[in-house]
Chain A
Amino acid sequence: MIGASKIKQYSNVLEKPLSKGKQEVSLSAFAFLFSELVQYNQTQVDNIAELERRLEDAGYAVGARCLELLCHREKGNRRETRLLGILSFVHSTVWKVLFGKVADSLEKGTEHEDEYMISEKELLVNRFISIPKDMGTFNCGAFVAGIVRGVLDSAGFPAVVTAHFVPMEGQQRPRTTILIKFAEEVLRREARLG
């Protein structure tokens, strides 16, 4: 028959190609879910450091899975072996898939060789959150720091990742910086690779 196309039937469900899935999720739905995550963890802990650690652990699980998925979908199963490679992967690909845009900036720390910073004017997870004054320097961006740590750890670049508020002059709201401090072995390996 002319003009009729035959849809390929897959005999086995395992042979069907993986769908890309829905690209967008309701921001409000995510905001409420995240708010509930923070509230739930608040009931389980005694102090703020513990709360930050819990949020980071939650993010770590997300990061590890994210790496697997994105390596397959976006990069055709290529593995990053260089430091700058994995950092730009996090800064562009991971951010684009999770938050809909690439991160604002990626900088190398001036004081220490092993420090790198990803900055964002306002993290998506913090969009609706106002930290009360008595919580000091607590940042719900610890969740995002955990995601970055999960990605880096699973890719073979162990690091300590933290989220900080950096006050900007002339701006009412402080900028958020994700500080990545790589482990010794990563730097040694990087130096060896030249």
Chain B
Amino acid sequence: MAAIYSLYIINKSGGLIFYKDYGSAGRMDTNDTLRVASLWHSMHAISQQLSPVLGCAGIELLEADNFDLHCFQSLTGTKFFVVCEPGTLHMENLLKYIYELYTDYVLKNPFYEMEMPIRCELFDINLSQAIQKDRVALLGR
């Protein structure tokens, strides 16, 4: 069944501010996740320059043999990307919903410093609920 392997949130300068691992295979240590995040940030930026079409907003979907990578960039440059099983549906909607959770439980939190790693309990709780619900909804289809 369709499953999510991991979720990354990177700030506008490419630093990793949130990482959550949902899959059991391919666990990475912190340094590797930081590297992957900045790698993706650079690739995203380069793709905007490489595009033959004007007004390209960057990579939205990367399809590989063993995984899909969906990326959502907000207007402020914060990138949300999720690594999931090939063929998982509704990831764009999930990413948009996670962006809503971010604006609610992270940006409205007075104790959160901008561009810093996210350590907000409410965000974690609601995120788990969203991912859980998503899995259940997908299983139901």
Contact = CB atoms under 8 A, between A and B. Distances in A.
B121 to A, nearest CB: 4
Given A28-B108, A130-B121, 6 more contacts: A36-B110, A39-B110, A128-B105, A130-B111, A130-B120, A130-B123
Nearest to B124: A130
Contact of B110 (A28, A35, A172, A173): A35
Given A32-B108, A42-B110, A128 B122 contact: yes
Contacts of A130: 105, 109, 111, 119-123
A166 interface: no
Contacts of B121: 130-131
Interface string A54-91: 00000000000000000000000000000000000000
B113 to A, nearest CB: 10
B119 A129 contact: no
A32 B122 CA distance: 16
B111 A135 contact: yes
A140 to B, nearest CB: 8
A38 B110 CA distance: 6
Chain B interface extent, by class: 10 to 19
Interface in B103-140: 104-105, 108-111, 119-123, 125
Interface of A: 28, 31-32, 34-39, 42, 128-132, 135, 140, 172-173
A32 B109 CA distance: 8
Nearest to B119: A132
A130 B119 CA distance: 9
B125 A129 contact: no
Nearest to A42: B110
A43 B2 CA distance: 47
Contacts of B120: 130
6 tightest A-B CB contacts, nearest first? A128-B108, A38-B110, A130-B120, A130-B121, A35-B110, A31-B108
A140 B122 CA distance: 15
Contacts of B125: 172-173
A193 B94 CA distance: 61
A42 B112 CA distance: 12
Nearest to B121: A130
